[in-house]
Amino acid sequence: MNAKPQTNGSAIDGRLKIALQNNGRLTDHSLALLSRCGLNFTRDRDHLVCYGENLPVDLMLVRDDDIPELVADGICEAGIVGQNVATEFTLVHGETRYTESRVLDYGRCRLALAVPTEDTARSVDDLGNKRIATTYPGLTAHFLATRGVTAEVVTLKGAVEIAPRLGKADAICDLVSTGRTLRANRLRELETIYESSAAFIVTHRPIDEEKRELLDRMLRRIDGVMQVNESKYIMLHAPRAQLAEITRLLPGAESPTVLPLEGNADKVAVHAVCRESVFWETLENLRSAGATAMLVLPVEKMLA
Ligand code: PRT
Ligand code: ZN
C-alpha cells in the first residue's frame, strides 16, 4: 500500500472525491469517461489530485491497488478500478465495504489459469497439489475452493508469467486480454476463473446529502455516456409492406419514427435509435429485407 494522498486543505473538504488509477491501462479511459460526463478538471498526471473546475469533484490519482481501500475507508467516496482488484480486496478482507455501482465498458480482461504448453493438464481438476503462482491469491483460492481442488497458491508481486520457468510454480493464474503474453512465455490457457471490466465503486461509509446528490448525478451521466457508446441513430427508406420485418431487424430499437416520403406512396422513411451495436451484417440483412438509403450516425448525448 502506497502513501495515501493528503486530504488536508479546504480545497478538498466538502468535495466529492473519486479515486482513479494514476498511470496505467485504466487512466485514459477513466479520465475520458468523466470528461464526457461534463467534468472539466486540471489534468496533471504528476500530481495526486485533479481539481474539478465546474463541479465540486476532485480526482485522486493513485495506484490501482490502493483504490479499494481508499473507497472502503471513505477517504474517497467513489473510485474506478478493475473488478479483479475490487473483488480481490473484498475476498482478502472478508467483507464488502463498497458497492460496485456500475460495470463500465472498458478494461475488459479475464483472470485465467495457465500451464506450460507441454503440460498435460486439461482443467483445474488436474492441478491438485500443484503450485499456482498469482498476484490474485484471494480470487485464485476462492476458485479452487469452489471447484474442490487443493493446491498451493504462491503469491507474487509481479512477473507471474515467468514463475514456471524459474521453477517457482507449476501453473499460473494471471490476467489475460489478447493471450499474447501467455504465448510469448510458452504457456497454455487452461480455464478462465474470473471475467473483469473496470467498475465504478461507491463507499458504504455515510455520504452527506449534497455529495450523494452529486454522486447520483455523476452515475446518471455515466449511464448516459455508456448508452451513447452503444447507440446509433439509423435512417433508412423501407417499402411499406416490409415495415414490420425491417423494424424487427433494427437492433435494440424502440418504436421507430415512420415518416411519409414525398411522391412515393409505397415507401416510408424510418428513423430509429438503436441501443445495440449496428454491424455491417445488420445493414446487409436490412437491405435484403428491402431497406435502401441507409445512414448510421453516432449519438452525441442521451438522457433518460
Ligand atoms: O501501477 P498500478 O498498480 O496502478 O498498475 P498495474 O500495473 O497494477 O495495472 P495495469 O495498468 O496493468 O492494469 C490495470 C487494470 O487493467 C487491471 O487491474 C485490469 O482490471 C485491467 N486490464 C485489462 C489488464 C489487462 N487488460 C491486461 N492485459 N491488466 C493487466 N493486463 C496485463 C496482464 O497482467 C499480463 O501481464 O497484460 C498482460 C496480458 O495481456 P495480453 O494482451 O498479452 O493477454
Ligand atoms: Zn496495480
pLDDT digits (tens, 9 = 90+) for 70-126: 999 999 999 999 999 999 999 999 999 999 999 999 999 999 999 999 999 999 999
Torsion of Cα atoms, 62 then 37 then 71 then 1, to 10°: -10
Atom of ligand 1 nearest to the CA of 160: 36
Q: Is 9 left (phi over 0), alpha (psi -120 to 50) or beta?
A: left
Residue nearest ligand 1's atom 34 by CA: 175
Ligand 1: residues with CB < 6 A are 21, 24-26, 63-65, 82, 84-85, 107, 109, 174-181, 196
201 phi/psi in degrees, rounded to 5: -105, 150
From 103, 109, 134, 196, mutation site for ligand 1 pocket: most ligand atoms within 8 A of C-beta: 109
Using the Cα atoms of residue 291, residue 294, residue 297 and residue 301 in order, give the sign of their dihedral. negative
Residue nearest ligand 1's atom 20 by CA: 82
Write down the pLDDT at residue 159: 94
From 26, 175, 181, 201, mutation site for ligand 1 pocket: most ligand atoms within 8 A of C-beta: 175
> Which among 174, 149, 170 is positioned nearest to 161, based on CA atoms?
174
**Are 134 and 140 spatial neighbours (Cβ–Cβ below 8 Å)?**
yes
d(CA 154, CA 135): 8
Beta strand pairing call for 264-274 and 232-239: antiparallel
C-alpha cell at 96: 464488502
From 62, 64, 186, mutation site for ligand 1 pocket: most ligand atoms within 8 A of C-beta: 64
Residue 264 has pLDDT above 50, yes or no: yes
d(CA 124, CA 113): 8
Q: What is the mean pLDDT of the chain?
A: 93
CA distances for 135 relative to 1, 84, 111, 138, 181, angstroms:
14, 11, 10, 9, 16
| pTM score, whole prediction | 0.86
Q: Please name the residue that has the C-alpha cell 498469482.
A: 134
Name the helix (H) or strand (E) containing 258: strand 257-261
> Which among 108, 104, 79, 86 is positioned nearest to 21, based on CA atoms?
79
pLDDT bin (cut points 50, 70, 90) of residue 45 is: low
Residue nearest ligand 1's atom 39 by CA: 176
**Are 144 and 124 spatial neighbours (Cβ–Cβ below 8 Å)?**
yes
CA–centroid distance, 112 to ligand 1, in Å, is 13
Q: Is 89 helix (H, G, I), strand (E, B) or coil?
A: helix
Write down the pLDDT at residue 7: 42
d(CA 222, CA 201): 13
d(CA 141, CA 199): 22
CA–centroid distance, 129 to ligand 2, in Å, is 28
For range 173-199, the mean pLDDT: 97
Q: Which residues pair with 171 in a beta bridge?
A: 132
pLDDT bin (cut points 50, 70, 90) of residue 138 is: very high
d(CA 162, CA 155): 13
C-alpha cell at 108: 475488459
